[in-house]
Amino acid sequence: MKRLLLAESAGFCFGVSRSVEMAEKLLDELGNCASLGELIHNADVVSTLEKRGLRVIESAEELRPGEPVIIRAHGVSPAVYKALEETGAQITDATCPMVKAIHSIVQQAGDEGRFVVVIGSRNHPEVEAIRGWCRSCAVFETAQEVEDWLENNDCFWEKPISLVVQTTQTHTNFTECCDIIKKRCTNVKISDTICSATFTRQEEAARLAADCDAMVVIGGRHSANSCHLAQICQLSCPNVQFIERPEELDLDRLKAAHTVGLTAGASTPAWIIKEVRNKMSDEIRVEESTVEKELSFDEMLEETLKPIYNGEKVSGTVVAITGTEISVDLGAKYSGFIPTTEFTDDGGKVEDVVKVGDEIEAIVVRVNDVEGTAMLSKKRLDAAKVWLDIEEAVDSEAIVEGVVTEENKGGVVVNVKGVRVFVPASQTDLPRDAELAQLLKKTVRLRITEVNKARKRVVGSIRRVAQAERRERIEAIWNEIEVGKKYQGVVKSLTSYGAFVDIGGIDGMVHVSELSWGRIHQPSEVVSVGDEVEVYVINFDKEKRKISLGYKDPEANPWNLFTSRYQVGDIANVNIVKLMPFGAFAEVVPGVDGLIHISQIANRRIAKPEDVLTVGDVVEAKITAVDEEKHKISLSIRALAEPAPAVSVESEDELEESGEDALVYEVETDGTATGIAPEAEEAPVEEVVEAVEPAVVKEAVEAVEPAAVEETAEAEKPAEEE
């Protein structure tokens, strides 16, 4: 073993560190405390805390009277929390914030009637707690389990499902499970709840394992994240040791390895990592001593007298801070100093940026051999690092952030950590004729596309980032879309049949009939291009990438207003809105029309509705029928009119002599007519009481050809007349 590499993120994560600190503070204040389950998955830490007064219990029943209790980082179910409260104990909740976030997600899913799928280890305390916050759920450990479940339960394919994942799961397993469930289920909402620290730790372990001849993973045997680390390392490195403490380390397995990597799970304390590292480092020093001598005192002295040169990078410790400069011990014959202006040019205080004892790196600007001083610059080193990052960003396509500082011919300039990046107008993501000045002083995200360090030229693209983010938003919308879901959108364009609304990268269409409950002829009567509106999904087709949206508020449905205000037999003031050969349409409430059949307009025979009514008239009418299912209403003016006087015999004889038809019928109080009128026999009952749906029926009637109407009327004449 010649070289040892230690992962930067090895050891306690935020959640574990937080719970241990809370327990230590509790023990300092109270002297003793109970922990519901092992505080963390590390026997050494648990043993140390037990010696200080922490007692591990498995249920609320084991609590002693007046004994305080701490809830570990894995969290507990609501039922367990309630049981603890009922004991009257002082409860300290050390649940990891990332785990609490999962509890909120699954609880909300239950409130929305969604079934919860949990990806994780069934018997892990974190997963057991998550299940307690679900109304209905299923837990799966592998992608194969998910596939088998869906194969045998096709009833879940169209049900609303929310998916969460244990914070310490591998990203590979999570992705595989998601791919399977997205192929089958049409209404799934996915939440990536893997802890960011866990993800970073796993990525580092994978990189180390790929570069090392051997790997050592430190962690508890029953620690989920530690076990996953070992599994990840074994994929790239055949020589992996998974240990809990230093004495388990097998150095013989490391002798043949040139480079060895060392990482640790989130529950591994720093002191165990240090002991393992020291044991491995001792082996490295033993091997090195057989090859080369240790430095003599004279050689070490010579090292401290080594000269430094302009442009060289050095590191040292801050030993003093004055009003004008910061003194740095470089461990050499020179005393370094950095002007305080390098830390205060933004108006801040130097003490807020750097303190005595801080380790600092800088570039040598000027050496004074006479005085034995070296002027240093941290800004130049930072700038050099930024250039390095900029150059690496070209190959990695990493996204950088900066502020637009100026507009010039052909584009804008973005300041990225002190480096000027030119963004051509075509790469600003603005329309062709848009003013570039609108970007000034705005923070933007961009990708570096070209770097020429010699010419100090850097070119970037805001458009590439914007396009990628739009694609991500579009995919997110299609993954989460469901009927009834609401979106905030912007009206992009208007047509004669509706409005197109952008709901985050995707345009959906709001048909003109879905813009308003009232009558409108053009969408522009309700919305304009650029308006911010709230819309909801009526229907969608993922394959054709089409979405139908609604804008009118379902709660403002005028039919509901009508039914709450009127019923059959009521009298209403109605507004005549359209006249047809068979009757008149009248608005009862805004958005709801009823039909007054021609036989119900007057208590006498009339040839056409225009003989009595005019569009715009407001008249009283009786509601004679309501079809709740079809939303149709029948009205009658005749039911409110005085009955017509009966015709005398003499008059009837006179009519016969004159060759005119007699009209003899009486009108009852409910609007029905009796008697015989040869030329104007009573219309069929179903035609009289047929209610009319405002928008649909009117257009249908208008579309009927005159000839067809005449044929229908001819067929309905009485047999005597034929």
- Contact indicator for 78, 98 with CB cutoff of 8 Å: no
Neighbours of 242 (CB within 10 A): 19
Q: Is 602 exposed, middle or buried (0-12, 13-18, 19+ CB in 10 A)?
A: middle
Residue 421's region, left for phi above 0, alpha for psi from -120 to 50, else beta, is beta
Sign of the Cα torsion 197, 203, 208, 213 reads: positive
**Annotated catalytic residue: which of 58, 62, 85, 126?**
126
The residue type at 158: E
Token pair, residue 720, equals 């005597």
Sign of the Cα torsion 714, 718, 721, 722 reads: positive
- Contact indicator for 295, 13 with CB cutoff of 8 Å: no
The residue type at 633: I
- Contact indicator for 40, 47 with CB cutoff of 8 Å: no
Neighbours of 580 (CB within 10 A): 18
> 447-462 as b/e, with b when 16 or more CB fall inside 10 Å?
bbbebeeeeeebbbbb
Q: Rounded to an integer, what distance in angstroms lies between the CA atom of residue 611 and that of residue 539?
A: 46
End-to-end Cα, the chain, rounded Å: 116
Q: Is 116 exposed, middle or buried (0-12, 13-18, 19+ CB in 10 A)?
A: buried
User: Which is nearest to 163 in space by CA: 180, 98, 152?
Assistant: 180
Asked if 294 is an active-site residue, the reply is no
What are the residue ranges of helices labelled H in 626-682?
A: 649-658
The residue type at 371: E
Which of the residues are catalytic? 126
